[in-house]
Structure 1
Amino acid sequence: MTSLPQVAPRIAKLTALSIGVALLATACGGSSTPTSTGSGTAKAAGIACPAPSATGSATSAAGAGGAVPPSATTTPTALKIGSLLPTTGSLAFLGPPEIAGVNLGIKEINDAGGVLGKPVEVIHRDSGDTKTDIATQSTNALLGSGVSAIIGAASSGVTKTVINQITGAGVVQFSPANTAAELSAWDDKGLYWRTAPSDILQGRVLGNYMATCGAQTIGLVVLNDAYGTGLAKSVRAAFEAAGGKVVAEELFNTGDSQFSSQVDKVVAAKPDAIALITFDEAKSIVPLITGKGVKPSQLFLVDGNMADYSKVFQPGTLKGAQGTIPGTFAKDDFKKKLLAIDPALKDYSYAGESYDAVNLIALATEAAKSTKGVDIAAQLKAVSEVGEKCNTFPSCVTLLRGGKDIDYDGQSGPVTFSDAGDPTEAYVGIYEFQDDNTYKAVKEEFGKL
């Protein structure tokens, strides 16, 4: 196959990266200072974080408030978008909000008259996880259907199994949830993009937050894949830079079902706090840890396992545990629109990122006046920066069709891409589990990459 042209300058590797994090609420405090002594369980001293409510400013997902001018261009083929999102596997809990975000974006675009004179088509396929070959089969089906762009996967590990296949076919791959830092330097011919920030940012936020909450030592239980080890590296660097010490770090592999050895070693190191960098393996790991006397307030989770555990654990099992999810808090008006798409939604993780991915692909298609993947990719950076601000497809496409440059800012926050296709600034939300083992928003932190 003839090699595809580079559609945008890409970074061969990350040579320098600085992150500034601004706390949008008061710092965590603790009435006592943790020490390095204690009995054979992790210590609760100093892990006391207040949970002020954070509402943030509302960003309307409503339309432009007027008729959208028709496109002056009609293409022979409609824009066709595929989704490669999890409905089975270890991240299946992330599938419903992501799929709802995609479907809401498609609905609003088509209600506004579609793209380049035609309704946008969407085809959904399951990504599964890295324990299966579902992603490859789904990718084959989507490429065979002639999609111009694929939204997904959610898992960075799954993306690594299909990214060459997708981008090698000249199709845009746009993930709403991939966070592995190594994907920034992937040889993707300029066709891989994401609205979720690199784990360098989430790790920085989590590491700093645990230190701010009073922890002087931490232990880590880590999934041994691109997501887990990359995020753990960033957490470690941030926590150590804040003066803390990582006293234990235990790995497990995808597909493992026994975690007693890892838990025993981490708890034996007597850390002030324990970070679980896992997917749904947390369902097995949490009871092992709390069964050894570790208090739930000493546990810190991440986006891969921040889920609704109300039907998994006894009430109170996770009360006081905290965790991080990249992205801003979903606003009430956006939640209402998502619930109209999927009334069963209970979680909104990465819904905004998925919605934004659809809008950005559609707007880049309008800007390119083409449904070819390479042409769409060449316009994605342009529609996200240096232009008139807009935050919905109708308002943005009206400006584009009027000959204006646009700067799309969406439900996931400000969207400005680097040459590597990564967001250069993003929010990370901090959440706390309640007695019923569901979680609520605590605060947002904003960082620049």
Structure 2
Amino acid sequence: MKLTAGAGALALSFTLAACGGETASEEPEKKAAPKGDGTFTVGQLLPQTGSLAFLGPPEFAGVDLAVKEINEAGGVLDKPVASHKADEGDSDSGIAPAEADGLLSKKSDVIIGTASSGMAKTVVDKIMSAGTVLFSGANTSTDFDEGDFSKPDLYFRTSPSDILQGAVLSNLLIEDGRSNVAILARQDAYGETLAEQIKVNLEDSGAKVATTSFYSQDATSFEAQVNEIAGSGADAVVVVSFEEVKKIMPQLIAAGAGPAKLPTYFVDGNTADYSDTFKKGELKGVKGTIPGAETSDDFKARLATVDPSLKDYAYAAECYDATIVAALAAVAAENDSGEAVAEQIIDVTTGGTKVKTFAEGVELLKKGEDIDYDGVSGPIELGETGSPTAASIGIYQYDDKSQIAPVKYISGQI
């Protein structure tokens, strides 16, 4: 992996072992994909409730905008796209499987979701077994490029794995002069993976990890973990969490380990607007990372046509692009079934003539040309595991009103 940024950034390079899998000669002969019902149907399994509910509005808006623009361009296979929404919830509610069943009963060919890697693991087998694509705009767990997921299947994502975010955040810590970092993280697939990636990259760069303290994903008190961080002698702390950061930060501040005394860093699961949550100055100077390229003013204006109240934009672009890519794949396959779509998803994001909109892509596909869709989230370039091979990570910083603004964007190849 190579990272590039503005002047002053450290140059880091990583060599990643290729995921194991069968060679082309070992693959069994593929059966023809079943024919779809003629209507390309998009399910949305995204957070309306739970610890990631703050990510729901931009993600739903991204899908809604894509569906709107696809239909304005003539739809898929000359028919309007159908769309249905459902709530992934979180581990406390456990509603994701039942909500997924509802979307499958509505004949969803592709389901955009989930936001949480952990929630994806609870529904991915069910969805793929139904012949439906699960296409996430926000899953970042490295697990989705390993084991059975390293082989072609019906799972895809437009957000890069935490290998990239871990490297970028570690690079940022080193740039800022941090050499003895404490990590406070959720004990789940997301928290454990990202904490490990941060630790590995810090240590590879010569820094130390003072302590890594995990808390249960359903914890209501963080006293033991906060005391461990406060007493670790660290010169910075990385908080890998979801919405529970609203409870964690007051405890860190009370323990003398808040941002005013201990430089603090967030990740994509908790980097959000907290102007209505924290007191003036409490988060000032905190930095965070969110996968994705800069959200352009044009894209924000287009999102406002489907959600005028939208204020946060995390993963809106990735969910938009996942929907566009899936629709282009259906056009390329001349078949709206999930299995047919899956066979074309990687092809429409690599090689061929560059296109940046659904309308451009359809025009070329109808002429029999190969296309390479580059979206609002970046180059995409999906690899054989269904994950991006190139992406961007944004670095954000909080002001004294607990609002975030982008500082710079890091591009990387995985």
| TM-score above 0.5 | yes
1:219, distance to aligned residue in structure 2 (A): 0.3
Q: 1:388 aligns with which of 347, 353, 358?
A: 353
Q: 1:27 aligns with which of 2, 5, 9?
A: 9
The answer on 1:183 being equivalent to 2:144 is yes
Aligned to 1:81: 42
Aligned to 2:204: 241
Aligned to 1:318: 283
1:345, distance to aligned residue in structure 2 (A): 0.8
Distance in 2 (CA, whole Å) between partners of 1:25 and 1:374 is 45
The code of the aligned residue for 1:255 comes to D
Aligned to 2:374: 409
Aligned to 1:224: 187
| More displaced stretch, 142-151 vs 130-139 | 130-139
1:315, distance to aligned residue in structure 2 (A): 1.1
Q: 1:344 aligns with which of 305, 309, 318?
A: 309
The code of the aligned residue for 2:183 comes to L
Structure with higher RCO (Cα < 8 A, 6+ apart) = 1
- List aligned pairs for 1:287-436, cutoff 5 A: 287-296=250-259, 298-436=263-401
2:37–2:337 contact (8 Å) kept in structure 1: no
Distance in 2 (CA, whole Å) between partners of 1:76 and 1:211 is 54
Distance in 2 (CA, whole Å) between partners of 1:286 and 1:332 is 32
1:295, distance to aligned residue in structure 2 (A): 4.6
SS in 2 for 1:414: coil
Distance in 2 (CA, whole Å) between partners of 1:23 and 1:245 is 24
The code of the aligned residue for 2:256 comes to G
2:351–2:372 contact (8 Å) kept in structure 1: yes
1:27, distance to aligned residue in structure 2 (A): 3.5
Distance in 2 (CA, whole Å) between partners of 1:245 and 1:204 is 15
The code of the aligned residue for 2:159 comes to A
Q: 2:53 aligns with which of 84, 92, 95?
A: 92
2:136–2:159 contact (8 Å) kept in structure 1: yes
Aligned to 2:409: 444
Aligned to 2:65: 104
Let me know the Cα RMSD of the aligned residues: 1.3
The answer on 1:260 being equivalent to 2:223 is yes
The code of the aligned residue for 2:382 comes to F
Distance in 2 (CA, whole Å) between partners of 1:198 and 1:333 is 27
Distance in 2 (CA, whole Å) between partners of 1:381 and 1:129 is 29
Aligned to 1:194: 157
The code of the aligned residue for 2:77 comes to L
1:75–1:117 contact (8 Å) kept in structure 2: no
1:186, distance to aligned residue in structure 2 (A): 5.0
1:431, distance to aligned residue in structure 2 (A): 0.1
- List aligned pairs for 1:164-175, cutoff 5 A: 164-175=125-136
1:76, distance to aligned residue in structure 2 (A): 4.9
The code of the aligned residue for 2:318 comes to E
Superimposed CA distance per residue, residues 369-392 of structure 1 (whole angstroms, 9 cap, x where no aligned partner): 111111100000110011000111
The answer on 1:115 being equivalent to 2:76 is yes
The code of the aligned residue for 1:138 comes to E
Q: 1:162 aligns with which of 123, 132, 137?
A: 123
Superimposed CA distance per residue, residues 144-201 of structure 1 (whole angstroms, 9 cap, x where no aligned partner): 1111010000000000100110011111000000000011125356100000000010
Aligned to 2:113: 152
Distance in 2 (CA, whole Å) between partners of 1:306 and 1:183 is 23
Superimposed CA distance per residue, residues 379-427 of structure 1 (whole angstroms, 9 cap, x where no aligned partner): 0011001100011101111111111110000011001111100000100
SS in 2 for 1:341: coil
Superimposed CA distance per residue, residues 74-127 of structure 1 (whole angstroms, 9 cap, x where no aligned partner): 975210010100010000000000000000000000001100010000001010
Aligned to 1:140: 101
TM-score, with normalisation over the residues of structure 2? 0.91
Superimposed CA distance per residue, residues 310-353 of structure 1 (whole angstroms, 9 cap, x where no aligned partner): 11111111010000000111011001111121111111000000
The code of the aligned residue for 1:400 comes to L
How many pairs were matched up? 386
TM-score, with normalisation over the residues of structure 1? 0.84
SS in 2 for 1:114: coil
Distance in 1 (CA, whole Å) between partners of 2:2 and 2:59 is 28
2:37–2:336 contact (8 Å) kept in structure 1: no
SS in 2 for 1:440: strand
1:296, distance to aligned residue in structure 2 (A): 1.6
1:22, distance to aligned residue in structure 2 (A): 0.7
**Structure 2 unaligned regions, length at least 5:** 11-34
